[in-house]
Structure 1
Amino acid sequence: MQIILMEKISNLGQLGDVVNVKSGFARNYLIPQGKAKRATEQAIAEFQSRRAELEKKQTEILAAAQIVAAKLDGLLVQITQKAGSDGKLFGSVTNANIAEALTGLGFSVERTMIHMPHGQLKQVGDYPLSISLHGDVKASITVSVLGDSAF
């Protein structure tokens, strides 16, 4: 199915590109989320008339993401979990826990933005993580998992 991209999508294309994708991907994800429209003549004409407006909106989103990334870069987030004497956590620290901690600090971060290369954190310690705020903007934070004695 041919679609017009209404925003930049990683590994797919830029704003305004006409690309060919699988029908299910377009119908179930891209079109309902407003990330794309079917590539009909009417939709292409409508897009051309709104192109400047959409580009301005994308530029504003990118600028906002860069501001948040500047504030987040190098941030140390401390999370306390119950742990045994050997430093092993009872349970684990997930990206949802980290997103909740960042929200508590005043940042609007969703759990899907947090990239945890080694999976859930199961030991006490410091872990460098990256947060993808936008397709082109990433921030690096350090999560410090502190053990709370279970006694």
Structure 2
Amino acid sequence: EKLSGTTIKLTQKAGVDGRLFGSVTNADIAEELGKNGYKVAKSQVRLPNGPIKTIGDNTVSVQLHTDVTVEITVTVYGETA
């Protein structure tokens, strides 16, 4: 699958300490993947530690089928308020 190893970039408002004011959820990730041509439902995006709350690189699993799971990298950039 072409999705494996994909990196997506998201920008969120963050404080100077690198923590996000909000969080990046599976819905945000699925929406961004959709913009990049990958049809993924938010229920397929696995965030084992819950929503992403810090800037930086995060490895996220996407379950495409029962036996097919790929890992992508979600890079979160901070945007100062």
TM-score bracket for the superposition, by shorter chain length: over 0.9
Q: Secondary structure at the match of 1:86?
A: coil
Displacement over 6 Å in runs of 4+: none
In the alignment, structure 1 residue 125 sits paired with structure 2 residue 63: no
Which structure's relative contact order is higher, taking Cα pairs within 8 Å and 6+ residues apart?
Answer: 2
Matches within 5 A, 1:62-77: 70-77=1-8
Q: Which runs of 5+ in 2 are unaligned?
A: none
Which of the two has greater helix per residue? 1
Matches within 5 A, 1:1-150: 70-150=1-81
For residues 49-85 of structure 1, the C-alpha deviation after alignment (integer angstroms, 9 at most, x for no partner) is: xxxxxxxxxxxxxxxxxxxxx2111101100001011
Give 1:90 shift.
0.9
Distance 1:120 1:91 in 2: 9
Q: Secondary structure at the match of 2:20?
A: strand
For residues 106-140 of structure 1, the C-alpha deviation after alignment (integer angstroms, 9 at most, x for no partner) is: 11000000110110001101110110000111111
TM-score computed with the length of structure 2 as normaliser = 0.97
Give 1:104 shift.
0.4
TM-score computed with the length of structure 1 as normaliser = 0.53
Distance 2:23 2:47 in 1: 13
Distance 1:88 1:137 in 2: 32
Distance 1:118 1:72 in 2: 21
